[in-house]
Each structure stands twice: as C-alpha cells, then as structure tokens.
Amino acid sequence: MANQTKFTFGLWTVGWLGADPFGSATRAVISIEETLENLKAVGAYGITAHDDDLFPFDSTEQQRRAAIERLKKGLEATGLKMPMLTTNLFSHPIFKDGAFTSNDREVRRFAIRKALRNLDLAHEMGAETFVMWGGREGAEYDCAKNVVDALARYREALNFLSSYVVEQGYNLRFALEPKPNEPRGDILLPTVGHALGFIETLDHPEMVGLNPEVGHEQMAGLNFVAGIAQALDAGKLFHIDLNGQKGIKYDQDLVFGHGDLANAFALVHLLEFGKDGKIAYQGPRHFDYKPSRTEDWTGVWESARANIRMYNLLHERAQAFESDPEVQALRKRSKLDQLAMPTLNKGETAKSIHESSEWFNFNPEKYFNGEGAGFVQLNQIAMEHLMGAR
C-alpha cells in the first residue's frame, strides 16, 4: 500500500543543521541537489519549503530567480513534486513581535508583501496548498497584545491574501497551522479548534483550512486524533504535519511514531480508514520533523526513512485491525454502530417527543451494574494489532 501514499518532506526538516537554544549547529549544509537526490532515494513523493529555505531573506531578485531555477532543475531531475509552499514570517528580527499581527504597522505591511510574493511562487511551482504557521503571532505578556485587535489584523491579512488568490485565479488553498506556544509565550490560534473557529470569521472561509501538526496539539495535552476528526468533520483537513512528541514540553519534532505510538496508530487508522472504512484524507503525508542534533548526515537520511517506515508499518497494522472479525464484533458490543445512527427517529420533532410515552418507559436504574461498554477489551485488541501480536 506504501506505493500509493504520497510522502513529502519540508526542506527545513532534513536541512536542519542542529542549532538549538543551547548549542550551535552539528552538521554542515549540503546542496539542494544532494538533498533532493537523497529524499528521492528514501522514497519521498515531493518536497515543501519556506521561501527562506530556498534563498536568503535578503537575496537580490537575481539570486532569488537563480535559486528557483536551480530548484526546478533539481525537481525535474528527481521527479519530485512541490505540492505545498509556505512563507517564513518568523526568523528575521523584523518579525520579533509577529508578522500579520505585529504591533508595528510597517512590519505588518511588509509581511503581507512577503506572503503575496510567495503566493506567486507557489503558483509558479504548481503547489496547491499554502501553509501559514504564525509562529510569532502572539505575546509573552497579556498587556503587550490586544488580542481582539490582533485577531482583526490577522483576519485582515488573510482576507487580503485570499482575495489576491481569487483575483489571480490561482489554484491555491490556505492551511493554517496552529501551535500553542514557542517561540512566543502564547501564540494566537493555539489549537486546531481555535483555528477552526477563526476561519469561520473570514471573508473566504472555503479557501482556508488547516495544517495540523502532531506535536503542536500534543504540546497542549490534546488528543491529536480527536482534533483531526473535528477538522475532517468541518471539511478543513487541507494538509497534515506528521512527527513525534513526548508530551507537554518544548517542540520536539521527533520522527513520526517515535512519540505517542498508540495515538499515531489511531491517526493512521483515521486517515486511511476513517470514512466508512475508506481513506478519509487524500493529501500528502507531510513530515515536519527534525533529525536529532546527535546525528550525522547518514543519520539524517536514516531518520527520513524511519518516518516513512513508521507510517507504512502503522498502515499495515491499521489495515489488519480494520479487517479483523473479532474487532468488528467488539465494536458492535461497544455499540459503535449505534453511534453512527441518528439519535432521533425520522420525522421526530421536539413536539412529538413530548407526546411520546418513551420518557416514562425508559428505566435508568438498569444501567447501574448493567451492561458494560467493552472499551478496555477493544483497546487491548487494538494494542495487540499495533504490536503485531495477532
């Protein structure tokens, strides 16, 4: 099944050189060509990038074009695609208080320009998704940011960019990437939920969806699978960032499945079998991880392979879980089939319920010491499938 799954990697992921808040880089930069060849070799379908990953922030137009042409050649040579592009609005000192929601109006205007320019590039590269991670949109201190004002500015920027895409006729959709904190003390739109709520206040909600990241939701202690389900329910899973995180702490960006393994298993099950047993998300499986700072370049490519391997192993196990007749029986015992049915009978209204005798017939007391839900046993069988023990 792995053959059909489209795995993509951010250029900044395998390209991360290991500098962190307490130490300098442990790896030396390699060329774009070498990067693409190695990604091809590990089985990637495509790559993604921020503008600043491709050419330095202060590039001249000539340098910028040269880098783009070089990238295109590399993509052609390897057959890799670029289905997603994004803009770096967080690294340069100018964005120290945010980009679209910086208190400094000139910075906000510059941020919109930088994004606009990158929308053109996304179109040029044939990308269909434009991810927006507002990592600097936030504050350390409650008095430093009027959040109502900041959301208004965020909305203004997204509306403006959306109308630009409409005007230009680009085949692009926006995908917001939530994160609760780091590098800011608190980041605006901290979770999948907050972004879903915000999207509905936009001029073009249909053009804007989500790019949830495993680790980001888990940094708030939230269940990633439940968040993805809500995004699917809202028709907003436009892209996805796969990686690993071990609980509530700094952003770890481990290999997918190297964090909460059981939740990763449930995630792959949801993506691949979540729509009545069929695939629920068609887009790329995008890895947004960091090869550990302890590794050399050999380890980098091993880690890239590990992401794909983990996904495929989980996919196989999810398939076995889905097909197991015992699982189907346990699900029925757990009444998951009833959950899929409407609660109300056809045609039933508030009025008709008031008139029915059901209220008096129902006996809540039978539920004490009554029939159990069977959830633990169902979960145990899921764990056994995950462990290849069935």
Ranges within 197-236 binding a second copy (CB under 8 A): 197-201, 218-223, 225-227, 229-230, 232-234
Site mask, a second copy, residues 361-380, x = CB under 8 A? -x-xx-xxxxxxxxxxxxxx
Site mask, a second copy, residues 23-62, x = CB under 8 A? xxxxxx----------------------------xx----
Ranges within 149-188 binding a second copy (CB under 8 A): 149-153, 156-157, 160-161, 163-164, 167-168, 180-183, 185-186, 188
Of 1-9, 19-27, 38-46, 68-76, the window that binds a second copy (rule: CB under 8 A) is: 19-27
Closer Cβ to a second copy, 125 or 306, answer by number: 306
Q: Which of 56, 79, 126, 247 binds a second copy (CB under 8 A)?
A: 247
Closer Cβ to a second copy, 78 or 243, answer by number: 243
Of 31-39, 62-70, 75-83, 357-365, the window that binds a second copy (rule: CB under 8 A) is: 357-365
Closer Cβ to a second copy, 68 or 313, answer by number: 313
Q: What is the largest CA-CA distance in the chain?
A: 79
Q: Which of 64, 70, 194, 204 binds a second copy (CB under 8 A)?
A: 194
287 contacts: CB under 8 Å, gap ≥ 6? 7, 8, 9, 10, 13, 241, 242, 243, 256, 304, 307
Closer Cβ to a second copy, 4 or 343, answer by number: 343
Q: Is 50 a catalytic residue?
A: yes
Locus of tokens 């400094």: 104
Which of 219, 218, 209, 263 shows the shortest CA–CA distance to 239?
209
Residue 79 CB, nearest distance to a second copy (Å)?
26
Say which amino acid occupies 372.
G
Of 1-9, 35-43, 63-71, 257-265, the window that binds a second copy (rule: CB under 8 A) is: 257-265
Of 1-9, 62-70, 122-130, 338-346, the window that binds a second copy (rule: CB under 8 A) is: 338-346
Centre a 10 Å sphere on the Cβ of residue 179 and count the other Cβ atoms it contains: 26
Options 51, 53, 253, 288, the catalytic residue = 53
8 A C-beta contact, residue 47 and residue 39: yes
Ranges within 260-319 binding a second copy (CB under 8 A): 260-263, 266, 269, 274, 291-299, 302-303, 306, 309-310, 313, 317
Binding of residue 346 to a second copy (CB under 8 A): no
| Token pair listed for 97 | 């208080």
| Token pair listed for 357 | 């005798």
Element (H, E) at 49: strand 46-50
86 contacts: CB under 8 Å, gap ≥ 6? 48, 49, 50, 118, 130, 131, 132, 133
Closer Cβ to a second copy, 78 or 281, answer by number: 281
Locus of tokens 């993805």: 228
Closer Cβ to a second copy, 73 or 96, answer by number: 96
| Torsion sign, CA atoms 289, 295, 298, 299 | negative
Which of 270, 289, 284, 306 shows the shortest CA–CA distance to 216?
289
As a whole number of angstroms, the distance between CA 317 and CA 312 comes to: 9
Of 2-10, 67-75, 77-85, 240-248, the window that binds a second copy (rule: CB under 8 A) is: 240-248
The torsion angle over the Cα atoms of residues 73, 75, 77 and 80, rounded to 10 degrees, is: -170
Site mask, a second copy, residues 83-122, x = CB under 8 A? -------xxxxxxxx--xxxxxxxxxxx-xx--x------
Closer Cβ to a second copy, 75 or 266, answer by number: 266
- Phi/psi of residue 285, each to 5°? -90, 100
Task: Give the binding-site size for a second copy (rule: CB under 8 A).
Answer: 170
283 contacts: CB under 8 Å, gap ≥ 6? 6, 83, 129, 237, 238, 239, 240
Instruction: List residues with catalytic annotation.
Output: 50, 53
